[in-house]
Structure 1
Amino acid sequence: MEGKPGNKAIGDHTEAVAARYLQSRGVTIVERNVFSRGGEIDLIGRDGEVLVFFEVRYRGAGSLAGGAESVTPTKQRRLVRAASFYLHRNGLWNIPSRIDVIAIAPGDVKKYRIQWIRNAIQA
């Protein structure tokens, strides 16, 4: 049965778009869709010497709020917990890290508008 793609398919696609965008800007993607007791991290990458946890948010043309605005305080706490758990589990407490948001929306001429918000969430 064909029809509109489901949320999982849209999420997978936009995470792939975000990964390509980040790689084109020098980020090395280390892992994707990391699940832990702390929660899910969409992408983990290296931006120079910094380990970066990326939250990818897509909002369609009819959305009232943009992708960045959709990261609620509850989601922020989950991301901080998931990143902390990842750092602890992998013994990476001593390296610099941050949490960024990649907001993706439909574009006009280009296929997508992408906004990279560095240090979007403070731990």
Structure 2
Amino acid sequence: MTSGHLQTGSASEDIALAHLEEHGLILVDKNVRFKAGEIDLICLDGKELVFVEVRFRKDERFGRAAETVTRAKQRKVIKAAALFLQSNRQWENHIMRFDVIGMNSHHEIEWIKGAFLATV
């Protein structure tokens, strides 16, 4: 990934986090990486531990950003979430939720709560 992509990704994650915080979510961790996959944002929404995949798409001619979260990406996020819970036992009794935030170049946000389940 080029540094331009990293900067865009980081900026998108910051905007997504601000949006989530405006809606009452509390940041637990961000950019959590394991060999199996990575999680952009982990937030607390009441009693739900929310694993958030953030996607940015400059040009939506071929679909919205949120649509780019493939089954393979979902599996990686789910594996990473399981590893996170194994190493952070204080969260193991929380309900898990997997959300996707898609964003375009105008910073319009599409937030899909419960975008996928851990059974993928």
TM normalised by structure 2 equals 0.89
Partner of 1:66: 64
Partner of 1:117: 112
Considering only aligned residues, what root-mean-square deviation do their CA atoms show, in Å? 1.4
**Residue deviations 1:68-89, cap 9 Å, x none?**
1100111011011111111111
Matched position secondary structure for 1:45: strand
Map 1:25-36 onto structure 2 (within 5 A).
25-36=23-34
Residues 1:84 and 1:69: Cα distance change in structure 2 (over 3 Å): same
Separation in 2 of the partners of 1:18 and 1:53?
12
Aligned-residue sequence identity (percent) comes to: 39
Separation in 1 of the partners of 2:15 and 2:112?
16
TM normalised by structure 1 equals 0.87
Report the CA distance between 1:32 and its aligned residue: 1.0
Matched position secondary structure for 1:99: strand
Report the CA distance between 1:18 and its aligned residue: 0.3
Separation in 2 of the partners of 1:10 and 1:31?
19
- Normalized per residue, the structure richer in helix is 2
Gaps of 5+ in 2: none
Gaps of 5+ in 1: none
Matched residue count = 115
Q: Is the 8 A contact 2:60 2:104 kept in 1?
A: no
